[in-house]
Each structure stands twice: as structure tokens, then as C-alpha cells.
Amino acid sequence: MKQEIIKRVTYTSLDEVMAKLKRESAVTDQLLSLAAGVFKDIGERGDKAVREYTSKYDKVEISGFRVTEAMMDDAERQIPEELKRAIAVASANIEKFHAAQKIAATVTETMPGVRCWQRQVPVGRVGLYIPGGRAPLFSTVLMLAVPAVIAGCREIMLATPPGSNGIPHPAILYAARVAGVESLYRIGGMQAIAAMALGTETIPAVNKIFGPGNSYVTAAKQYASALGVAVDLPAGPSEVMVVADGSANPRFVAADLLSQAEHGPDSQSVLVTTSSSFADAVYAETERQLATLPERETALSSLAGSAIVVVPSEKEILEVVNSYAPEHLILQVPDAA
Amino acid sequence: MKQEIIKRVTYTSLDEVMAKLKRESAVTDQLLSLAAGVFKDIGERGDKAVREYTSKYDKVEISGFRVTEAMMDDAERQIPEELKRAIAVASANIEKFHAAQKIAATVTETMPGVRCWQRQVPVGRVGLYIPGGRAPLFSTVLMLAVPAVIAGCREIMLATPPGSNGIPHPAILYAARVAGVESLYRIGGMQAIAAMALGTETIPAVNKIFGPGNSYVTAAKQYASALGVAVDLPAGPSEVMVVADGSANPRFVAADLLSQAEHGPDSQSVLVTTSSSFADAVYAETERQLATLPERETALSSLAGSAIVVVPSEKEILEVVNSYAPEHLILQVPDAA
């Protein structure tokens, strides 16, 4: 019998479906104690320790961690005009969306003379972490830095691992410049989180750390949080849930599932549908598109942890979506609202 | 020489002041591994384990954890009319304030046809934790439950430890009824957090846990958070920072410091002032008022970890306030804004 590429689940109870969609918890006690060691080391030996970890994990020797203006100029020269235009459009859109979040304080007089309000105050110095790896996440640079600029943070610093030439990916540097990030550091992994949390001779300590990362980075952020440095949230692997009924196009749905699956071997792609025949069609399409996918191996590994869930009715769709609470939700149904 | 009741710090640098105001980190590895044991036990043995922990730590035998309507009625009868009126006023004020936080979604069209918005969605089932101990925190009941009702949470449950008679403090039960909490459970400590995080035969698992607590409860909340159950934030001991200049009344400032100090032996009360003579006056007043304070021992222990900080100018006041980021800040100056 042929090995199935993605498991198929028929709804019996919510608990059983949820058990089959269980995410791997990335942060283990082992990773946390590794983080404890890195933090202790960087707390005691500062830049010297950061340099050693960079040499060990990123396989490059870095003298100054700060990304220079010359490196930034050089990065800008490497970016094709088309990508520059795309980054400009994305940056403008993100700015438009987040600018709408600036709300004026509403003063409520709960009793005569007692005036109460909430005030939005920017975090003083924020540290944005942008992972290296598979694909340069320059969109994440924009999504983290643009709101920080709008909020009015006093200082925005960004840490991202150096490439094999000692310099981060040019698209990350360019996006940071477009977004208005003033200080960039070419450090990555646990050592970057520890350096931003504790500060070193050349890397300033920040008030809050934002950004995604692998399980090492996530463990380091959890450790920083336990030390009292604010972090955004523990990021897990990326995931998508697609809700579709018989009216959707199986080709599009399969493409949605695969686009997430190629993110990383631990990404999760889930389809929830009431139609068993539609589930069959998506399965067949996924198999077909997978054959020509450049990131085939990654997607295969990711699909092995993914699922197509067939539920009896719309009621169970809502139950599953709410319980799973996906990072990305795509609704391919006539009445999405 | 007489033992000083509260230490006096003269500003030399921000780092030095902050080192002297360092809060004790309540959650230790030992507490976290204790929490791990309690969670494992309750996960495996459910209600039976909760009953055993309650017997061990609260020194009462509880058969049903759910607080009955009869207990609620009985609590209501025990509350004096004056307290009932105060709870009604507080509840109305809290409702007025939080109702103003309900904001309509702003739809932003970032590009033609691309409409983006944020939507406020209530958490399905919330678990509110109210500690027992020194004083019944019925105001905390209102401050947690009233916003949950306004948000439209599907189910609001509240856990609070039983008193020596097996029943929680009547003021807590009464405030919960006023706020609209439907289900109350008489469980406390780590076992309450574990039961709400995992669910048992009679206690439903919640989506998010809110509320203060001692270092055991805080450790249990951190452990729950690591398991993937949302929590509000790790609560430390309560604290106040008072900023006052020579124009303030030392009697009021001393009273502000002491009102926080009597909260618990690990509370922190801090005065920041530019006037050394005013600092002397507050010290003397604190000593005088302390003599007649009913909770004198608690306050003394709390003041031992507190400080009066004299800084050179307003600039350093802002630095200290921003770095310390107090839970409560009282400004006794002519121009507070």
C-alpha cells in the first residue's frame, strides 16, 4: 500500500480531532537549561562570549556586531528594483493598517471628579529578532519595525544572524532601512536573545524582545521572560488551517496547504471540510502539485504532521477552528463571515 | 544606634538605585518542580488529587468543590448593608471604565479591495483566581469578573480557597454574585491553577487564567503557561511608588507607604523625592504612624525591603519611575502630568 502523504481524520469528537492536531511543543527542559548556560556566559563575559557562540553556531568570525552603513549601502545596491518596489508597497500597507491602531485615550468619569483613562505608551528600547535560514523574512522586518516606529519607541534595534560571509541577507538589511530601524546587529540564535536581554559592552539591553525564531530562540525568549525581560509571545512553527466546502477549488486549497508546508519541516497544514469527496479531491491535488514542488522534501515532512479533517457539519467546523486557534486561517466558503 | 525602619538611598546613578530597589524574584526552580508534580498528579488522578492537596494545604476536607447556591445565599446574608453598597458602587465604576474599552473595529483599506481590521473576540471560558489569606480581595473579584462579563466570555469560573469552615470568605462570594460569575469553586493554591488548566471530573478546563496569588500560585501559572494554557501575567508582590516634592504633606505620603506595606511582608513601598528634608519628614511620620498600626509586624518586614530615594532633580525622578515601572504610582506634586 502506498504511504499516505497527509493523514485523514474523520470527526468523532472534538477531543479526538484535537488530539490528532496536537502541536509539537518545541521548548524542552534541555533547551531551557542550554539557554540558562548561554545567558550566564554572556552575562559574565559579554561580547567575548557572543563572539564565541557566533563562531560556533554561525561558523563565522565577527569582530564588530554592529552592521555598518557601508554594509547597508551595499545591501541596497544588491536589491533588484522590483523587490524594492514590493517592499515599498508592503511597508506602506503595514503603516496604513497600524496607524489606525493609534487610539486617543477615552476619559471616563466614573464618579464626579474621578477621571480614569488608559494611555498607550511606547516601549523605550525594543529588540527585534529576525531569523536567518531558509528564506529571508524581510516581511517580518516590516511587520515588527513599522509598528514600533508608529508607536514612537525611543530606540529600535534589530538582531539577525550573519550569513556565511559575515553579513546578514541584503533583503533584511534593506527592509530594515526602509522601515526606519537605526541599529542593526549581526547576531543570531540564543546568543542574540541573551545579548539583547542582558546587554553587553557593545550591544544595549532592551526593554522588550519581539520576533519569531526556531526552538532555540523560543527557549531563549522564554528564559529571558523568566528573568523579567518582556517578550512578545513564544512563537511555534508556522501553521495554516483552511476551511473549505464543496464549492471551493481543490487546486487552490492544495496550493494553500503546500505553501505553508514548504515553510519548514515542522509547519502544520490542516484542511477542515464537511465534504468527504472534496477532501479526496484536495488530497489528489496535493499529491499532484507536490510532485513538482522545489521544496518537496520539506513539504513532505511537514505534511506528515498535518491533516485533512472531515466533519459532519458547520457546527463542528467552528468548534475545530476555535479549539485549534490557527495562526493563519483561510476561509474558502461562500459566506466567510 | 537605632535600627532604621526603611532604608534611605541617595541617587548616584540609575543603576545603583535600581540595584537597591531590586524585587525578589518569587518563582524558583524548586517551586516550578513542585508545580510540575502537582500538575502531573492532578492530570492523572483528577478530583481525588485536588481533594488531597486541599486537605494538606488548606486543612479542610471538601467533598464537592462547587460552591452551592445555599452557600452563596448564606454569604449574602452575612454581608453588612454598608459593604453591599460599597461593592455596588465599585462594581458600577469598574463597569463604566471597562465599557469604554469596547471599541468598534476600524476597517482599513490598505489597497483597493484589501480590507483589514482587528476584531475583539472574548475568551471562551476564563478562570479567575482569587487568593485567600490576609484580607478578602473582593475588589479583585470585581476587577477581574466585570471586564469578563463586558467582553462576553462564554463562561466565567472563579476559584478561591476554602476557609477553615470549608467555605470561602462571604465577601468574595457576594462580590462574585454581584459581578455575574456563574460558577465558583472552593479550591486554592497550585491545585486550583492545575485543576483549571487541566480540568478534572468536576472542574472544567479553562482557556485562560487570570488573577494574583502568592509565589506558589505564580509558579503554577508559569507552569500552566509553559503547557500552553494562557495566563494573564506573573503577579509579584504588590508595590507602590510615591513621587513627592516639598509641597506634599508628609503625613499623607507616610500613610501611602504604610498602606502598601501592610499588604504583605514582601510588599515594596518606595518614595522618590528631590527634597532631602522632605525625606526626613516622611521618615519621621512613617515611624510615628507605624507605632499605632494594627499590622505593624507585616509593615515592618515590608519596609525593610523598601526605600526612600533622594534624587538630584526631576529628570532622575522620571528615570527611576520608568525603570522601576511600579504597579501603583502616586504623584504628590503640583504638576502631575
Q: What DSSP string describes B180-222?
A: T--EEE---HHHHHHHHHH--SSS---SEEE----HHHHHHHH
Residue A337 in contact with partner chain B when CB distance is under 8 A: no
Residue A226 in contact with partner chain B when CB distance is under 8 A: yes
Mean pLDDT to the nearest integer, A180-207: 95
State which residue of chain B sits closest to A227, comparing Cα positions: B25
* Percent of the residues in chain B that have a pLDDT greater than 90, as a whole number: 60
Edge-to-edge, what's the strand order for the sheet holding B307-310? B7-10, B307-310, B268-273, B239-244, B328-332
A4 is catalytic: no
Q: Answer whether A110 sits within 8 Å of B93, measured CB to CB.
A: yes
Global ipTM:
0.78
- For residue B258, give every residue at least 6 positions away whose Cβ sits within 8 Å of its Cβ, in sequence order, or none: B269, B286, B289, B290, B293, B299
Q: What DSSP string describes A42-66?
A: HHHHTHHHHHHHIIIII----S--B
Give the whole-angstrom CA distance, residue A103 versus residue A123. Answer: 16
The reported pLDDT for the residue numbered B133 is 73
What's phi and psi for B236, nearest 5 deg? -95, -175
DSSP designation for B66: B
DSSP designation for B333: S
The reported pLDDT for the residue numbered A332 is 86
Mean pLDDT to the nearest integer, B179-193: 95
Picking from A97, A114, A232 by the largest number of B CB atoms within 10 A of its own CB, the best residue to mutate is A97
Provide the number of CB pairs (under 8 Å) joining chain A to chain B: 39
State which residue of chain A sits closest to B110, comparing Cα positions: A93
State which residue of chain B sits closest to A33, comparing Cα positions: B29
The reported pLDDT for the residue numbered A18 is 87
Mean pLDDT to the nearest integer, B277-304: 89
The reported pLDDT for the residue numbered A25 is 66
- For residue B336, give every residue at least 6 positions away whose Cβ sits within 8 Å of its Cβ, in sequence order, or none: none
- Its pTM stands at 0.83
Residues of B in contact with A322 (CB under 8 A): 124
Shortest alpha-carbon distance between residue B151 and chain A (Å) = 17
Residue B31: C-alpha distances to residues A147, A222, B8, B220 (Å): 37, 17, 32, 8
Choose the closest CB to A100 out of B108, B124, B222.
B108
Q: Report residue B269's pLDDT band, with 50, 70 and 90 as the boundaries.
A: very high
Q: Which residue has the cell 529600535?
A: A156
Residue A121 in contact with partner chain B when CB distance is under 8 A: no
Residues of A in contact with B116 (CB under 8 A): 97
Give the whole-angstrom CA distance, residue A11 versus residue A15. Answer: 9
Residue B234 is which amino acid? P
Q: Which residue has the cell 527542559?
A: A29
The reported pLDDT for the residue numbered B270 is 92
Residue A116 is which amino acid? C
Mean pLDDT of the residues in chain B: 90
Residue A30 in contact with partner chain B when CB distance is under 8 A: no
A169 is catalytic: no
Choose the closest CB to B96 out of A27, A97, A108.
A108
Q: Answer whether A100 sits within 8 Å of B111, measured CB to CB.
A: no
* Number of residues assigned to chain B: 337
State which residue of chain A sits closest to B207, comparing Cα positions: A323
Q: Answer whether A100 sits within 8 Å of B114, measured CB to CB.
A: no
Residues of A in contact with B124 (CB under 8 A): 322
Q: C-alpha cell of A48? A: 567575548
Give the whole-angstrom CA distance, residue A1 versus residue A104. Answer: 63
Q: Report residue A335's pLDDT band, with 50, 70 and 90 as the boundaries.
A: confident
Q: pLDDT tens digit string along B212-247?
A: 988 899 889 988 887 878 888 777 778 899 999 888
> Which residues partner with A183 through β-bridges?
A157
Choose the closest CB to B116 out of A92, A97, A116.
A97
Q: Report residue A26's pLDDT band, with 50, 70 and 90 as the boundaries.
A: low
Cα–chain center distance at A192: 16
Residue A323 in contact with partner chain B when CB distance is under 8 A: no
- Give the burial class of B107: count Cβ atoms within 10 A of its Cβ; 0-12 exposed, 13-18 middle, 19 or more buried: exposed
Shortest alpha-carbon distance between residue B48 and chain A (Å) = 23
> Which residues partner with B208 through β-bridges?
B126, B230
Give the whole-angstrom CA distance, residue A117 versus residue B148. Answer: 18
The reported pLDDT for the residue numbered B2 is 65
Mean pLDDT to the nearest integer, A6-22: 88
Choose the closest CB to A100 out of B97, B106, B228.
B106
**Residue A204 · residue A197 · CB < 8 Å:** no
Measure the CA dihedral B253/B255/B256/B262, to 10°: 150
* Percent of the residues in chain B that have a pLDDT greater than 70, as a whole number: 98
State which residue of chain B sits closest to A219, comparing Cα positions: B226
Q: pLDDT tens digit string along B292-327?
A: 888 888 888 888 889 899 999 888 998 899 888 888
**Residue A2 · residue A302 · CB < 8 Å:** no
Q: Answer whether B110 sits within 8 Å of A97, measured CB to CB.
A: yes
User: Exposure pattern of A142-164 as b/e (b: 16+ CB <10 Å)?
Assistant: bbbbbbbbbbebebbbbbbbbbe
Measured at the alpha carbon of residue A20, what is the angle toward residues A319 and B49, in degrees to the nearest 5? Answer: 85
Q: Report residue A2's pLDDT band, with 50, 70 and 90 as the boundaries.
A: low
DSSP designation for A193: H
Give the whole-angstrom CA distance, residue B291 versus residue B300. Answer: 10
Q: Answer whether A96 sits within 8 Å of B106, measured CB to CB.
A: no
**Residue A35 · residue A220 · CB < 8 Å:** yes
State which residue of chain B sits closest to A28, comparing Cα positions: B226
Q: Report residue A242's pLDDT band, with 50, 70 and 90 as the boundaries.
A: very high
Residue B9: C-alpha distances to residues A110, A111, B17, B246, B306 (Å): 38, 38, 7, 17, 10
Residues of B in contact with A226 (CB under 8 A): 27, 222
Q: pLDDT tens digit string along B97-152?
A: 999 888 777 899 999 999 999 888 899 999 999 998 767 889 999 999 999 999 99
Q: C-alpha cell of A171? A: 533583503
Q: Answer whether A116 sits within 8 Å of B97, measured CB to CB.
A: yes
Q: Report residue A296's pLDDT band, with 50, 70 and 90 as the boundaries.
A: confident
Shortest alpha-carbon distance between residue B55 and chain A (Å) = 31
